[in-house]
């Protein structure tokens, strides 16, 4: 008789765990969907058309030495230099797969709250619009105190340093796309 009673109870426990697991998964999906909607509150809603000012702003491209703003950061590219095959000092050295390009940049927080600068959010592009991401290890080796590899920048403060990109030997950087965060729109800087 105990076997007959324990079987329905066992089935109920199995169903209970399935419902609990389904509920937890539903909460996770709902939480990730709501956080995705909130990650870029500056984007216009999908039903709005970009204004003429938005179109003109995107068409404007800064040059070396000119400030360019994205979100809380004002970027000023000081220069770009390519051709090195190694960075760092022994025993901490990094060998390029192609060639290293050094993007010297000044970053100022123009916002009212601290903002984190990550070199991983930045891009270098060639004439064909091929995108290159930074080599974070190489950037950490050449950046003074990791200033452009990762920095928490308070309002009004700034950092300056080098971001290192590993590009093919025949590639020539044409522009940089700089971001104050992973999901920001970014700002273009012409490197020629």
Could you report the per-residue pLDDT of 19-74, keeping only the tens digit for each? 565 555 555 655 554 444 444 445 444 444 544 444 444 556 899 999 999 999 99
Q: What pLDDT does 174 receive?
A: 97
Give the Cα separation of 66 and 183 in Å (integer): 23
Q: What is the mean pLDDT of the chain?
A: 80
144 band by pLDDT with thresholds 50, 70 and 90 = low
Q: What's the confidence (pLDDT) of residue 181?
A: 93
Task: Note the pLDDT tens digit of each residue in 23-36.
Answer: 555 556 555 544 44
Domain 60-190, second-level architecture: Sandwich (2.60)
Q: Higher pLDDT residue, 163 or 39?
A: 163
Output the pTM of the full model: 0.67
The mean per-residue pLDDT over the stretch 133-154 comes to: 86
CA-based end-to-end distance of the chain: 86
CB atoms within 10 A of CB 121: 19
Are 71 and 180 in contact by the 8 Å Cβ rule? The answer is yes
């Amino acid at each position: 008789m105990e076997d007959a009673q324990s079987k329905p109870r066992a089935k109920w426990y199995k169903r209970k765990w399935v419902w609990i697991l389904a509920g937890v998964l539903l909460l996770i999906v709902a939480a990730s969907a709501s956080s995705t909607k909130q990650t870029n509150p500056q984007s216009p809603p999908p039903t709005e058309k970009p204004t003429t000012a938005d179109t003109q702003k995107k068409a404007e491209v800064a040059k070396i030495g000119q400030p360019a703003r994205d979100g809380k950061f004002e970027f000023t590219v000081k220069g770009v230099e390519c051709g090195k095959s190694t960075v760092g000092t022994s025993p901490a050295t990094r060998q390029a797969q192609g060639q290293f390009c050094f993007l010297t940049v000044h970053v100022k927080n123009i916002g009212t709250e601290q903002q984190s600068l990550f070199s991983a959010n930045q891009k270098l592009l060639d004439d064909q619009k091929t995108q290159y991401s930074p080599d974070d290890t190489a950037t950490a080796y050449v950046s003074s105190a990791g200033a452009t590899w990762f920095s928490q920048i308070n309002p009004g403060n700034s950092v300056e340093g080098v971001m290192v990109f590993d590009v093919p030997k025949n590639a020539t950087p044409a522009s940089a796309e700089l971001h104050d965060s992973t999901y920001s729109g970014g700002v273009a800087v012409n490197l020629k």
